[in-house]
Chain A
Amino acid sequence: MELTELTIAEANRGLVNKEFSAQDLAKAFLDKIEKEDKDIFSFLTVTKDQALLKAKQVDELINGKNDIPLLAGVPLGVKDNILVRGTRCTAGSKILENYISPYDAAVARKIKKQGAVILGKTNMDEFAMGASGENSAFGPTKNPRDLTKVPGGSSSGSAAAVAADMAVYALGSDTAGSIRQPASFCGIVGLKPTYGAVSRYGLIAMASSLDQIGPIAKTVEDARIVFEAIQGKDPADSTSVESEIRNQQFAIQKLRIGLPKEYFIKGTDNEVEKIVRGAIKKYEEMGAKIEEVSLPHTEYSVAAYYIITPSEISANLARYDGIKYGYSDNAVNDLMKVYLNSRGRGFGDEVRRRIMLGTYALSAGYYDAYYLRAQKVRTLIREDFTNVFKKVDVLMTPVAPTPAFLLGEKIKDPLSMYLCDVFTAPVNLAGLPALSLPAGKAGNLPVGLQIIGKPFEEDIILKAGELLEKTI
């Protein structure tokens, strides 16, 4: 087995047993990135020197007969909207092309403390806006399973790097499916934790009431290891909460699985539906109880999302003014022109479109008709989930209506790209945890199953995920 194919748990065992060193491991990944990432473009920045230095420190710890944490010496990629001190952080945007992080994000601090080896920063849709990776200002990432296809987005580089064995795991962020959908398209595992489970301190904000950081990994076990390492309350993120670690009894015979009928509708690719239903059938054979349920407001989720999110974006991205940091066109002599030129030229197409949409939705005379109405619909979407979770423990659905689509297929039509979020966005609107894991293949393209859980019941969806993983 190649070093680059190892999971976190396997890499940890190999390091502890001195089958290889952390430096061997880091070099294997750095070599692979150097040779193969030209075709995929999963990394925007590779931090070779820092990675090798960190690996050397971990080797010294091991040689000194010290116990090492699970993530020590294990190489990963970090989505380029998460700050890593001293490293460039672009968020996939020209406006931050030369921005150097002055400090570490909370999640970066936590994994560094364990001795994690950060290989670099991964490509992404600009400011995490997109479902294909094509909105990166630096060029699209390609799907390692088929280079003519998109890897999904917005955590495009994180998912592609893990799928192509250029990182053991990666950190991503998910606002409407940006961890789960690329995990599905690339055939790996992605976890979007409960809103508040992981600190967003040092995450470049898109839509603050929805953004959440989570792991992208090769196995469910690895996703759990990373989630446990990064979760927890942080005084620097007032929305973060301490999750009660509930080591709940889990028996598949007692698991009640809900299939929301609104997620099994016309418009979903036939192969995708067949694969997802096949996976659910396996749970039934294992003894789980399957029940059809209804989330009646599902069809309004994308519409509500594309009012709420652009509104938050228009406020969050006001900070890029060409004055404090980032790209600036200050050759002009008046302040208004500095703003107009810096923002007009620094932001890409989708980012400007969402800022415009959000500014419109929040502007005088439209607030009630758009933003307030969308927030009320959000309440109904949330209540739909609360109601079904009185009857079932988890929900199982497709992650996306299709497998990976062609590069260029949807980029000219914003609305068709937005509709990629139809099965993932409702989960963010309700703040729930959800796992995406491989369920099968349509031709050569992977298809994921989404398991949605109750708030802070990551443990349950991970345990359920592990059971399916064993059968594939």
Chain B
Amino acid sequence: MISKKEIEHIAKLARLGLSDAEIKKYKNDLSSILGYIEKLKEVDISGIEPTSHSVIVESVTREDEAKAEESEVVRKLAEMAPDKKNGYVKVKSVL
């Protein structure tokens, strides 16, 4: 059983602002889902390698150089920021 304190900690790590009622709800939901996932403990996994991708993924490299993008695309990407100033994305002070 996952505790309320753990749920609050995870919500903070995940940067999700949740109300008290939501914290309570996710505590119940996660407990029930994790209860089902306990099934995985029945499986003998000794000596088994983990799979991260179903096909063999090779590292693809390319020259580390800036790609010329259409100025229209660049402008549209920048315009998408909710808060901006002089063509820069504006962020609240970090420190």
Q: What is A's interface to B at a CB cutoff of 8 Å?
A: 99-100, 102-103, 194-196, 209, 235, 238-239, 241, 297, 299-300, 302-304, 306-307, 314, 318, 321-328, 330, 333-341, 343-345, 347, 352-353, 355-357, 359-360, 363, 370, 372-380, 382, 414-415, 418, 428-432, 455
Contacts and interface: CB of A to CB of B under 8 A. Distances in A.
Interface string B54-95: 110111101000000000010011001111000001011110
Given A379-B48, A380-B48, A352 B16 contact: yes
A436 B7 CA distance: 39
B39 interface: yes
Nearest to B35: A415
Q: Pick the most buried of B32, B49, B57, B73: most chain A CB atoms within 10 A of its CB.
A: B57
Q: Pick the most buried of A235, A328, A337, A375: most chain B CB atoms within 10 A of its CB.
A: A375
Interface of B: 2, 6-7, 10-11, 13-18, 22, 26, 29-30, 32-34, 36-37, 39-43, 45, 48-55, 57-60, 62, 73, 76-77, 80-83, 89, 91-94
List of 3 A-B pairs having minimum Cβ-Cβ separation, nearest first: A431-B54, A344-B17, A340-B17
A338 B29 contact: no
Contacts of B58: 238
A375 B52 contact: yes
Contact of B48 (A322, A343, A353, A376): A376
The secondary structure that dominates the B interface is loop
Contact of A343 (B17, B41, B59): B17
B89 A300 contact: no
A209 B92 contact: no
B82 A299 contact: no
A303 B37 contact: yes
6 contacts: A300-B43, A303-B37, A307-B40, A327-B82, A360-B2, A373-B43
Given A307-B40, A379-B50, A353 B81 contact: no
Q: Pick the most buried of A300, A376, A378: most chain B CB atoms within 10 A of its CB.
A: A376
The secondary structure that dominates the A interface is helix
Contact of B54 (A335, A340, A429): A429
Contacts of A239: 53, 55, 57
Contacts of A303: 36-37, 39-40
Contacts of B91: 323, 335
Given A306-B33, A356-B16, A360-B10, A377 B43 contact: yes
A328 B33 contact: no
Nearest to B82: A328
B49 A379 contact: yes
A334 B94 CA distance: 8
Given A323-B91, A325-B82, A209 B53 contact: yes
B17 A323 contact: no
Nearest to B94: A335
Nearest to A347: B16
Q: Pick the most buried of B15, B30, B93: most chain A CB atoms within 10 A of its CB.
A: B15
A415 B32 contact: yes
Nearest to A379: B51
A239 B30 CA distance: 32
A388 B26 CA distance: 40
B10 to A, nearest CB: 5
Nearest to A208: B53
Nearest to A375: B50
A99 to B, nearest CB: 7
A71 to B, nearest CB: 25
A19 B30 CA distance: 58
Nearest to A339: B15
B40 A330 contact: no
Contact of B83 (A328, A355, A376): A328
Contacts of B34: 357, 360
Contacts of A352: 16, 18, 22, 26
A314 B14 contact: yes
